[in-house]
Amino acid sequence: MAVVLAIGVALSIAGLVLLLNLFGAGDGVIRRVTSRDLGSLPPGFAASKRGFRIYAVLVIAVGVLCLGLAATTWLLPLGAAMLVAGAITFGIASMVAIAGEVETARSQKR
């Protein structure tokens, strides 16, 4: 479980750094990664500030899921609560991301 804990901590920290744009990390990723074409696909929802924040929340949610899984070995109620919180956050953020990607794709076709 130590590996799962380490992955959870790393993902949670990375997601927070991107979400809060610490040291300009979020802007750098948007500029260097998400705003570029991916073959035949134009930049999508993640190239916008709103979209990037949603994807950062998804990274945090996966980190919380991993932390919850690791925490079940120490304190089951806390681990279960973290698993539920991470899963709900992931589900809601996924729906928002999909809607944003569809909206972005439709606006680029016009």
Banded model confidence at residue 4, pLDDT cuts 50, 70, 90: very high
Distance CA 50, CA 36 (A): 17
Residue 13 has what pLDDT? 97
Buried-exposed string 41-68: b where 16+ CB fall within 10 A, e elsewhere: eebbbbbbeebbbbbbbbbbbbbbbbbb
Tell me if residue 41 falls in helix, strand or coil.
strand
Report the predicted TM-score, pTM, of the whole model to 2 decimal places.
0.89
Banded model confidence at residue 50, pLDDT cuts 50, 70, 90: very high
Banded model confidence at residue 105, pLDDT cuts 50, 70, 90: confident
